[in-house]
Amino acid sequence: MTTTKSKNSSIDHIIEIIGTLSIEDKVKLCQWLEQEITASKQPWLKTVGIFKQDCQFDDVQQFIHEYRQEIDEIEE
């Protein structure tokens, strides 16, 4: 079981390590932390971009667009 004192000690150790990083690595770390914090506040953001490598994504989007047009025409 981790105590508060050992957690603080771990954080202090992490801060020491961060102090040794290059400015470029610190920027990368800050960007990663920002993404983690944002994702924890808005969990749906974790799914953003999951289909960017899917070769059928554009086809699916076109199908959705055509289907919506059909529905709109029926409702008019």
Cβ partners under 8 Å of residue 38, min gap 6: 45
Pure H helices in the chain: 4-19, 23-41, 57-75
Domain range for 16: 4-75
Into how many domains does the chain fold? 1
Q: What is the DSSP letter of 76?
A: -
Among the ranges given (5-14, 20-29, 51-60), the one the predictor scored with the smallest mean pLDDT:
5-14
Average pLDDT over all residues of the chain: 87
Rounded mean pLDDT, 8-22: 92
